[in-house]
Structure 1
Amino acid sequence: MRDSRPSFNVYMITSLSVIIFYLLECDTLLSLVKPVIVPAIFYYYIQTTRYKISKSFSIALWLFFVSDMIEITDSNQGLILIMSCSFVSYIIISAMVLSEKTEIRFSNTSVLFSILFAITAVYMSIQVLISVSLENVPKFIFFAMYAALIIVMVIYAIFRFFTEKDYVSQILLAMTMAMFVSDIFYGYARFLIIDNAIIKVVSIIAQFVSYFWMVQYYNNRRPSLAKRTICKNLKL
């Protein structure tokens, strides 16, 4: 395996730089640094993967890059495009997860945690949905579908974690939770809370963390029709 530390270091430095530039309101520097995030984590993926480079996974990752670029250049008018890119990425990731054909077992603990998360997530999502124009029915339906997809992804990850309790299921849960936190806090910052830097920073951090866990999940997942390989330690 090639040394992945340079690409990981670039990813970490640029991620921290984006947060700092956002807090300092250095929009020009922010627009220069943020485009480096996804290429850095993609290069890290290339260096750390033990399998053939996945086209579907690459598309999912680069769609997030497109989403970021739209937000930088046209965040006010491009919201539907931003969400569409992420929505397609989530569908690809969901298909990848389901292809493992894991047998899910239900327990009192997993059901309890899933219900608690579902109630919290639905409540938070409804707050954002209500703030979106209810008069625009197609837009409202798309937002609802988007929220439902990410919530279902997290609930599936919770059940799988309590079923298998291994490293891969931990990564999957961390990845989906980071995606949910990133999206819901983005919605709060955009529609509910005006100029709240903390909410926006939490969204940014969760977004960048989700990219890292995406790569870790794919590198350690169980491909369909193949024997599972579990990596117990992060390899940077």
Structure 2
Amino acid sequence: MKASTPSLILFFVTSALVVLFKLLNYDGLVLCGKSIIIPSLFIYYFVSNNYKITFFKGLIFLLLFVRDIFTTLNISESAMGSFICVLTVYILLLYLGQKDFKYLQFSFRDGFPIFILILGIGSICYSVLNLELENLELDFSLYVTFGIILSILSILSIINYIKSGSYAFFNAMLMCICFIITDIFFVLYKFYFYNYAFTLLSIITQFLSYFFMVNYLLEKDKG
């Protein structure tokens, strides 16, 4: 057994338990379980990467952990604190993605698929933001900014994978797809209408996005 395996097992077991606790309406246990997710993935990444981590990538894990703290505390500042943490993570991941993107070479025939991709993700973002959302916790312009950053990150990651086909960008693409699904269902059940299935889907895809993110970072380090 690899040294990193126990922490990965802990992540999957905890993720399954959180989903189970949510089904049973044990909200306190859900919060406790979610607080273990990021630390277990951090240990998995740190050990798998031969106990090395850059400040940049360490900051990503720290921000996601702080986000979970804000969610657990559920204080008046939680919404803004959580928003800033996630938005900053997206910006940091966007920075990583654009470093690879700028070295790609495009031909004229790439124009149409890229246009369709931008149109598709842009339409999803616009459709969600155009819903009649109620009881927003933050100013609507902040959610627009959030949607634009996530859309750019997703477009960049998908193009990177299409052009290079590497395993790292495959994980980055899956990470972004999970980010999008998580945020769509979060907005739907939080500000549009509550649906239990939406909550579960948001939780499951959130955990998957973390897993794909760690795989992406590990593959980046190998390169």
What TM-score comes out, normalization by structure 1 length? Answer: 0.84
The sequence identity of aligned pairs, in percent, is: 23
Letter matched to residue 43 of structure 1: I
| Contact 2:157–2:172 (Cα < 8 Å) also in 1 | yes
- Alignment length, in residue pairs? 219
Q: Which residue of 1 aligns with 2:28?
A: 28
Q: Which residue of 1 aligns with 2:123?
A: 119
Residue 104 of structure 1, CA deviation: 5.1
Cα distance between partner residues in 2 of 1:112 and 1:32: 42
Asked whether 1:206 is paired with 2:208, we answer: no
Instruction: Provide closer, same or farther for how the CA distance between residues 6 and 51 of structure 1 changes in structure 2, counting only shifts above 3 A.
Output: closer
Letter matched to residue 119 of structure 1: S
**4+ aligned runs moved over 4 Å, structure 1:** none
What TM-score comes out, normalization by structure 2 length? Answer: 0.88
Secondary structure class of the residue paired with 1:102: coil
For 1:62-81, what aligned pairs fall within 5 Å after superposition? 62-74=62-74, 78-81=78-81
Q: Which residue of 2 aligns with 1:150?
A: 150
Residue 50 of structure 1, CA deviation: 5.4
Letter matched to residue 219 of structure 2: N
Q: Report the aligned-residue RMSD.
A: 2.4
Cα distance between partner residues in 1 of 2:126 and 2:50: 38
Residue 31 of structure 1, CA deviation: 2.5
Instruction: Provide closer, same or farther for how the CA distance between residues 75 and 147 of structure 1 changes in structure 2, counting only shifts above 3 A.
Output: farther
Cα distance between partner residues in 1 of 2:187 and 2:129: 8
Instruction: Provide closer, same or farther for how the CA distance between residues 32 and 120 of structure 1 changes in structure 2, counting only shifts above 3 A.
Output: closer
Question: What CA deviation, in whole Å up to 9, does each residue of 1:52-72 have, x standing for no partner?
Answer: 312111111221111122112
Mean CA deviation greater in 165-174 or 16-25: 165-174
Cα distance between partner residues in 1 of 2:50 and 2:174: 21
Asked whether 1:56 is paired with 2:56, we answer: yes
| Contact 1:19–1:201 (Cα < 8 Å) also in 2 | yes
Secondary structure class of the residue paired with 1:99: helix
For 1:80-91, what aligned pairs fall within 5 Å after superposition? 80-91=80-91
Instruction: Provide closer, same or farther for how the CA distance between residues 104 and 178 of structure 1 changes in structure 2, counting only shifts above 3 A.
Output: farther
Letter matched to residue 12 of structure 1: F
Secondary structure class of the residue paired with 1:171: helix
Structure 2, unaligned runs of 5 or more: none
Cα distance between partner residues in 1 of 2:71 and 2:111: 41
| Contact 2:179–2:205 (Cα < 8 Å) also in 1 | yes
Letter matched to residue 70 of structure 1: F
Residue 164 of structure 1, CA deviation: 1.5
Cα distance between partner residues in 1 of 2:71 and 2:51: 32
Letter matched to residue 184 of structure 1: I
Cα distance between partner residues in 2 of 1:98 and 1:52: 23
Cα distance between partner residues in 1 of 2:134 and 2:104: 38
Cα distance between partner residues in 2 of 1:104 and 1:188: 38
| Contact 1:2–1:47 (Cα < 8 Å) also in 2 | no
Question: What CA deviation, in whole Å up to 9, does each residue of 1:134-170 have, x standing for no partner?
Answer: 9x9x812111101110011111122222212222221
